[in-house]
Amino acid sequence: MARGKRSHIIVVAEGEEAGGAFVVARHVAERFNHPYRVVVLGHIQRGGSPTAMDRIVAAQSGALAVEALLAGRTGMMIGIKGGLPVEVPLIDVVTNAHPEPRRDLIALAHRISG
């Protein structure tokens, strides 16, 4: 608003932790005396139609998850490494460092939104 923008987007995650999107919208409207519109996105808006590769990755990942479960391997998530599905222990997911986000994409997002 300080930069003169007349419209804003606020994203509210699914769930009721913050009271939902409608409650958040009312609070923002009251605080800033600004009209609002809530849009609840469906799966198409959130991710688009799946590509052939999306379907292949989902099928491979699902098959590996079922194989792991039937073999009694639990505490795993399925990830993709080198284009193939792999089992990743959940402890590794929460304890290992993750790659830094691409700074060029972050800079692009700031340029576009400014």
Q: Write the pLDDT tens digit of every residue in 21-55.
A: 888 888 888 988 888 888 877 766 667 788 999 99
Q: What is the DSSP string of the chain?
A: -TT----------SSSTTSHHHHHHHHHHHHHT---------HHHHH-SPPHHHHHHHHHHHHHHHHHHHTT--SEEEEEETTEEEEEEHHHHHHS--PPPPHHHHHHHHHHH-
**CB atoms near residue 85 (< 10 Å):** 19
pTM over 0.75: no
Domain ranges of the chain: 1-48, 50-114
CB-based burial of residue 10 (10 Å sphere; 0-12 exposed, 13-18 middle, 19+ buried)? exposed
Q: Does the structure show a pLDDT above 80 at 60?
A: yes
